[in-house]
C-alpha cells in the first residue's frame, strides 16, 4: 500500500513538473499568449482536466513559472555574491550576468519581466524583483562599508540598479522588433550596462 502511494505521489509530481516545463517552453517560444491551458496540456501530453487538478487557473501556472525562473536567477546572483571578489567586481558581474542571460533567452525574459499581465501576476512579478533587489543590496552594503561605493540610501541605490538591469533591456528584448543579436553586440551591450551601474555608485 505504501509503495503504491509512493509511486502515485511520484507520478503526480512528474505530471506537475511536466506541465510547468511545457508552460515555460511555450512562453519562451511565443510569450504568455501562446501558453493557454490547452496548449500546455497538449505539449505536456496530458488532458486539460489533469492540468486543472494541479493548477486552478492558467495564472497559477504562469506565476509558478515566473517564481521558479526568478529564484534560479537569484541563486546565480547569490553565488556571485559569495565569490572571492571585490564589491565592485561582484556588482559588475551580477549585472552583466543577469543582462546577458536575459538577452540569450529574449522571449522568455521579455515575458517574465515586461509582458502586460493582470494584477495577480504583476504582484508576483513585483515580489520576484524584490528578491533581486535584496541580493544587490548585499553587494552595495559591502562596498559602502569598505569605502568602494558611495550613496545616501541603499534602498534607492538598489532600486536604481535593478531598474537599469531590467528596464534597459526592454528595447533589445521586445519580440516585435524581431532582431537577432550577434555575440559581439551582446557583449558590448552587457558591458555598457554593467559599467553604468558600477559608475552610479562608485566613489570618485
CATH 3.40.50.720 assigned to 63-201: no
| pLDDT for 123 | 86
Q: How far apart are CA 142 and CA 84, in angstroms?
A: 13
3-class secondary structure, 149: strand
| pLDDT for 179 | 62
| pLDDT for 104 | 82
In the chain, where are the structural domains located?
1-56, 63-201
| pLDDT for 128 | 82
3-class secondary structure, 180: coil
| pLDDT for 4 | 55
Q: How far apart are CA 82 and CA 176, in angstroms?
A: 38
Ranges under pLDDT 70 in the chain: 1-4, 172-180
Nearest to 112 by CA among 130, 123, 125, 98: 125
Report the alpha-carbon angle 58-59-63, nearest 5.
125
What class has domain 1-56? mainly alpha
Cβ-count burial of 116 within 10 angstroms (0-12 exposed, 13-18 middle, 19+ buried)? exposed
Quick: pLDDT tens for 120-139. 888 888 888 899 999 999 99
| pLDDT for 51 | 93
pTM over 0.75? The answer is: yes
3-class secondary structure, 60: helix
Q: How far apart are CA 92 and CA 59, in angstroms?
A: 34
| pLDDT for 181 | 72
Q: Name the β-bridge partners of 149.
A: 202
- Residue 20: phi, psi to the nearest 5? -65, -40
**Are 1-56 and 63-201 the same fold in CATH?**
no
Q: How far apart are CA 12 and CA 18, in angstroms?
A: 10
Amino acid at each position: 500500500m505504501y509503495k503504491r502511494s509512493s509511486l502515485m505521489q511520484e507520478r503526480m509530481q512528474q505530471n506537475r513538473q511536466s506541465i510547468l516545463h511545457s508552460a515555460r517552453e511555450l512562453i519562451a517560444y511565443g510569450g504568455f499568449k501562446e501558453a493557454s491551458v490547452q496548449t500546455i496540456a497538449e505539449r505536456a501530453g496530458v488532458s486539460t482536466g489533469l492540468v486543472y487538478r494541479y493548477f486552478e487557473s492558467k495564472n497559477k501556472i504562469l506565476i509558478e513559472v515566473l517564481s521558479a525562473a526568478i529564484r534560479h536567477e537569484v541563486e546565480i546572483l547569490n553565488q556571485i555574491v559569495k565569490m572571492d571578489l571585490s564589491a565592485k567586481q561582484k556588482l559588475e558581474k551580477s549585472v552583466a550576468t543577469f543582462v546577458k542571460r536575459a538577452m540569450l533567452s529574449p522571449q522568455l525574459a521579455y515575458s517574465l519581466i515586461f509582458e502586460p499581465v493582470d494584477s495577480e501576476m504583476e504582484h508576483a512579478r513585483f515580489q520576484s524583483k524584490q528578491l533581486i533587489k535584496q541580493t544587490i543590496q548585499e553587494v552595495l552594503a559591502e562596498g559602502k562599508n569598505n569605502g568602494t561605493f558611495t550613496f545616501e540610501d541603499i534602498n534607492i541605490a538598489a532600486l536604481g540598479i535593478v531598474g537599469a538591469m531590467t528596464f534597459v533591456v526592454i528595447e533589445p528584448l521586445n519580440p516585435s522588433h524581431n532582431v537577432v543579436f550577434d555575440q559581439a553586440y551582446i557583449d558590448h551591450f552587457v558591458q555598457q550596462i554593467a559599467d553604468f551601474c558600477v559608475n552610479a555608485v562608485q566613489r570618485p
